Amino acid sequence: MELFRYSRSIYGGDGTLIGASWDLFGWFVAAAAAFIVVHAALKAFSGNSNLDSH
Amino acid sequence: MPVSELKKSDASVPDNGRVVRHRLIDRIYHWVMAAAVFALMGTAFMPIFGIKFEWLTIHWVAGVVLAFCVLIHIVRAVIWQDRMSMVIDRTDFANGAKIVKRSFGQKVPSPIKAGKYNGLQKLYHLGVAFFMLAIIGTGLAMLSKIDTPFWKRNPYWLGDSDWGTIYTIHGFGAMFMVSMVMIHVYFALRPDEWHLTRSMFRGWMSGKEYKAHHDPARWPASDSK
* pLDDT tens per residue, range B49-89: 999 999 999 999 999 999 999 999 999 999 999 989 999 99
Q: Which range (A37-41, B1-5, B48-52) has the least confidence?
A: B1-5
**What pLDDT digit, counting tens, does each position of B127-138 carry?**
999 999 999 999
Q: Residue A41: its chain B contacts at CB < 8 A?
A: none
The one-letter code for the residue type at A48 is N
**In chain B, which residue's Cα lies nearest the Cα of A36?**
B183
pLDDT level of residue B1 (50, 70, 90 thresholds): very low
Q: What are the φ and ψ backbone dihedral angles of B116, each rounded to 5 degrees?
A: -65, -35
Confidence grade of residue A43 (pLDDT, cut at 50, 70, 90)? confident
**The pLDDT value given to residue B7:** 47
Largest CA distance in chain A: 62
Average pLDDT over residues B146-152: 86
| CB contact at 8 A, B181 and A29 | no
- What integer is the mean pLDDT of B207-218? 94
ipTM: 0.86
d(CA B188, CA B196): 7
Q: What is the three-class DSSP state of B81?
A: coil
Kindly give, in sequence order, each residue whose CB lies less than 8 Å from that of residue B181, ignoring residues fewer than 6 positions away. B37, B38, B41
Q: What angle do CA B174, B170, B160 make, to 5 degrees?
A: 155
Residue B94: pLDDT band with limits 50, 70, 90 = very high
The Cα of B190 is separated from the nearest Cα of chain A by a number of Å equal to 9
Interface residue B168 vs chain A (CB under 8 A):
yes
Q: List residues of A whose CB lies inside 8 A of any B CB.
A: 4, 7, 16-20, 22, 24-25, 28-29, 31-33, 35-36, 39-40, 42-43, 46, 48-54
pLDDT grade, residue A48 (50/70/90)? low
Residue B187 scores a pLDDT above 90: yes
Nearest partner of B217 among B85, B86, B104, B97, judged by Cα: B85
CB pair distance less than 8 Å for A53 and B119: no
Cβ–Cβ under 8 Å, residues B87 and B52: no
Residues of B in Cβ contact (< 8 Å) with A1: none
pLDDT of residue B2: 46
Alpha-helix residue ranges (DSSP H) falling in chain B: 3-6, 24-48, 56-79, 90-103, 119-142, 160-189, 194-202, 207-213
* The predicted structure's pLDDT at residue B10: 60
Residues 6+ apart with CB under 8 A from B100: none
Pick the more confident residue, B179 or B12: B179
The CA-atom distances, in angstroms, between B153 and each of A1, B93, B147 are 34, 48, 5
| pLDDT at residue A28, as a whole number | 98
CA B168 to chain centroid, in Å, comes to: 23
The DSSP string of A2-52 is -SEEEPPPTTSS---EEEE-GGGHHHHHHHHHHHHHHHHHHHHHHTTSS--
Q: How far is A45 from chain B (nearest CA, A)?
A: 10
CB B183 within 8 A of CB A54: yes
